Amino acid sequence: MTSLLFTWIFLALLALNVGLKYWLATRQIHYVLRRADAVPEQFAGQVSLDSHRKAAAYTVAKQRLAMIETACGAAVLLVLTLCGGLQALCDLLGGWLGTGMAFQLAVAASVVVIVSLVDLPIEWYRQFRIEQEFGFNRMTPALFLADTAKSIVLSAAIGLPLLALILTLMRFTGPYWWVYAWVVWCAFTLLFTVLFPILIAPLFNRFTPLADSELLQRIQALLARAGFHTSGVYTMDGSRRSSHGNAYFTGLGAAKRIVFFDTLLERLQPPEIEAVLAHELGHFRLRHVRKRLLLGFVASGLLLIALSWLMQRTWFYQGLGVEPLLQARNDGLALVLFFLVIPVFTFLFAPLSSLLSRRQEFQADEFAARYASSRALIDALVKLYKDNATTLTPDPIHSTFYNSHPPASIRIERLLKLGPPAAAA
């Protein structure tokens, strides 16, 4: 492999990525707009034409922003790599810090800061223009800035020591450094999953034990039926930031928590809440959460092996516009380059992960139909689709590529086939 050949492979894949993303976004926009003036028959009576049109406009607005995001992402990537941005950054930081650990940490941190700075106005636009316009935003600019500041401090406090540890392993553990780095990464992921709900989530939201005793009884009966143990059922003040509703599980093992957004509890009836919870329980009981975690471990292992091989090839650096140091370690530089360009190589696998995720959604729906009620889940889904302005008519190819959840019509069709609920309502 020569540097020039690698440059061309990278450019070709980047062009393919951007082209594919634009083609998919354009398809989605046209498909949704063409169906905006008639509510699909399946939802007639449940979703008004106004809500349907709002969902179409919201989908289009989000797609257009995604297209801008794609263009900015590609531009930043090119500026940093082939246009010499990263090389200039290395020259500048190397002049101040030499080539040791401080230099490598500084290079990585600077790139994260640059990428985040480009992302910030896009996030601002998303929250204060699109979400605002469609009535979903509940954030004040002050809260947005406070969230951003907290995230930066947290990322630095957690990310920099972790990065320093990985760089130390790369430096001192020989050719099999990636095994040690992989073990550290897996341990960190597990620790983070367990500690996130206890230490980090409360920095952003308030969690209160569910107070509604009638609903709580219903939930406890469901948990008993499904043989599920949890360390608590909580309500989260999601309404501080957005009126989108949600419910989720966090934690692992005995520390699992059930969390309902207050916005979800406001809108759904108790049997519907029970059905949504049963779906989430399904993900745990059917070991989806564990499988996803394991798959993440396998993927990170493969990526680290790829990195350990690539970082020893000169063409990997030169092909991406950077001169590797001959007299010093290039670990930090290799890490940064690798994580900058890897999405270009992995994007083509997106449909595979979406496929896996959609299959698990169907299985969780079946679980919910068995332990709660398929009718109640359908009612809950229709309300959630309507309230969240999720399109009922997504482009099938766009959906195959991106959607972790099956389109509403297919999901509901399947639920209807599952028939009447087995458990008492």
The residue (of 361 and 395) whose beta carbon lies closer to Zn ion is 361
The minimum distance between CB 264 and Zn ion, in angstroms, equals 14
The residue (of 131 and 361) whose beta carbon lies closer to Zn ion is 361
For residues 277, 282, 285, 290, the Cα torsion angle rounded to the nearest 10 degrees is -100
Binding mask 340-379 for Zn ion (x = CB under 5 A): ---------------------x--x---------------
The minimum distance between CB 387 and Zn ion, in angstroms, equals 17
- Joined tokens for residue 293: 């975690």
The minimum distance between CB 406 and Zn ion, in angstroms, equals 10
Residue 289 CA to residue 296 CA, distance in Å, equals 11
131, 272, 331, 365: the catalytic one is 365
- Joined tokens for residue 296: 């993440």
Assess contact for 387 and 51: CB atoms under 8 A.
no
The minimum distance between CB 367 and Zn ion, in angstroms, equals 10
Is residue 365 part of the annotated active site? The answer reads yes
The minimum distance between CB 292 and Zn ion, in angstroms, equals 11
Q: Which residues pair with 28 in a beta bridge?
A: none
- Joined tokens for residue 240: 């501080």
Nearest to 293, CA basis, from 193, 365, 368: 193
The residue (of 167 and 277) whose beta carbon lies closer to Zn ion is 277
The minimum distance between CB 394 and Zn ion, in angstroms, equals 17
b/e map 211-222, b = 16+ CB within 10 Å = eeeebeebbeeb
131, 272, 280, 387: the catalytic one is 280
The residue (of 292 and 313) whose beta carbon lies closer to Zn ion is 292
The residue (of 288 and 329) whose beta carbon lies closer to Zn ion is 288
The residue (of 245 and 324) whose beta carbon lies closer to Zn ion is 245
Q: How many residues bind Zn ion (CB under 5 A)?
A: 2
The minimum distance between CB 279 and Zn ion, in angstroms, equals 6
The residue (of 331 and 361) whose beta carbon lies closer to Zn ion is 361
Is residue 266 part of the annotated active site? The answer reads no
The minimum distance between CB 364 and Zn ion, in angstroms, equals 5
The residue (of 361 and 387) whose beta carbon lies closer to Zn ion is 361
Q: Could you tell me how far CA 244 lies from the centroid of its own chain? A: 16
The dihedral built from the CA positions of residue 234, 425, 272 and 402, taken in this order, carries a sign that is positive
Residue 86 CA to residue 88 CA, distance in Å, equals 5
Residues of this chain that interact with Zn ion (CB under 5 A) are 361, 364
Instruction: Indicate which residues carry an active-site annotation.
Output: 280, 365
